[in-house]
Amino acid sequence: MTTTTQTPAALGFSMPTEWDTHAATWMGWPFNDDYWLGYLEVARQDFTQLIRTIADFESVIVTVADEEAEQDAKKRLGATANGLTNIRFRRFEIDDIWFRDSGPIFIRDAKNKLPLTDWGFNGWGNRFEWKKDTLVPKGIADELGAKRYEIPIIMEGGALEINSQGVLLTTKQCLLNKNRNPKLSQAQIEHYLKDYLGVKQFIWLERGLEGDRTDGHIDTITRFANDTTIITSVHEDKNDTNYAPMQENLEILKNARQPNGDLYNLVELPLPRKRMDVDGERLPMTYANFYIGNGFVVVPTYDDANDNEALQILQSNFPEHKVIGVNSTGLITGGGSFHCVTQQQPIGEVMGNG
How far is residue 160 from each of residues 44, 197, 204, 265, measured CA to CA in Å?
Answer: 26, 10, 11, 19
What is the structure's pLDDT at 79? 59
How far apart CA 171 and CA 86 sit, in angstroms, is 36
What is the structure's pLDDT at 78? 78
What single letter denotes the amino acid at residue 156?
E
What is the structure's pLDDT at 84? 54
How far is residue 107 from each of residues 13, 112, 114, 135, 307, measured CA to CA in Å?
Answer: 6, 9, 6, 18, 34
Residue 61: CB atoms within 10 A of its CB come to 21
Number of H helices, E strands in the chain: 9, 20
Q: At what angle do helices 40-55 and 67-76 cross, to 10 degrees?
A: 50
- DSSP SS3 for 290: coil
How far is residue 186 from each of residues 189, 204, 220, measured CA to CA in Å?
Answer: 5, 10, 21
Please calculate the CA angle 196-90-342 and round it to the nearest 5 degrees.
50
Active site residues: 340
- Shortest CA distance to 243 belongs to which of 215, 210, 267, 216? 210
| Residue 3 DSSP one-character state | -
The sign one gets for the Cα dihedral 249, 254, 260, 265 is positive
| Residue 6 DSSP one-character state | S
How far apart CA 289 and CA 15 sit, in angstroms, is 19
Cβ atoms 77, 47 nearer than 8 A: no
Q: Per-residue confidence of the chain (354 residues) as pLDDT tens digits?
A: 344 458 999 999 999 999 999 999 999 999 988 889 899 999 999 999 999 999 999 999 999 999 999 999 999 997 554 455 789 999 999 999 999 999 999 999 999 999 999 999 999 998 988 999 999 999 999 999 999 999 999 999 999 999 999 999 999 999 999 999 999 999 999 999 999 999 999 999 999 999 999 999 999 999 999 999 999 999 999 999 999 999 999 999 999 999 999 999 999 999 999 999 998 899 999 999 999 999 999 999 999 999 999 999 999 999 999 999 999 999 999 999 999 999 999 999 998 876
